Amino acid sequence: MSNNQHSNHEEGHKHHPGYSTYFFVWFALLVLTVITVAVAGINFGNLTVATAMFIATIKSYLVLTIFMHLKVESKTFRAFVGVALFFLLISLILLFSDYSFL
């Protein structure tokens, strides 16, 4: 194989995180799950749902960027994921604006 073909082949590979990164993210997800369960047992009033949603957002970000390799995907694919998350956010805002926490 010539040097030109070899360099083109290397450019096609994207850097994926190592096993240690996967382990630390997995451990962070476990810790955040424990925090979510602990927070569910504490009555923060109206902030209980907001706290759970905030922790779920952090966990979703970790899964999307590390386990689903969104960090190394093309800009077009990231844009499609962003549009889907935007419509999910709109749906959640409409849901919670109609829901009474009392």
**87 band by pLDDT with thresholds 50, 70 and 90:** very high
What DSSP element (H or E) covers 78? helix 75-98
Q: Is the pTM of this model over 0.75?
A: no
How many domains are there within the chain? 1
Residue 23: predicted pLDDT: 93
Residue appearing with tokens 């979703």: 60
Note the pLDDT of residue 10: 47
Is 7 part of a structural domain of the chain? Answer: no
**Does 34 score more than 90 pLDDT?**
yes
| Residue 4 placed within a domain | no
Residue 90 lies in a domain: yes
Confidence of residue 13 (pLDDT cuts 50, 70, 90): low
What is the pLDDT averaged over residues 45-72? 86
In a domain, 9, yes or no: no
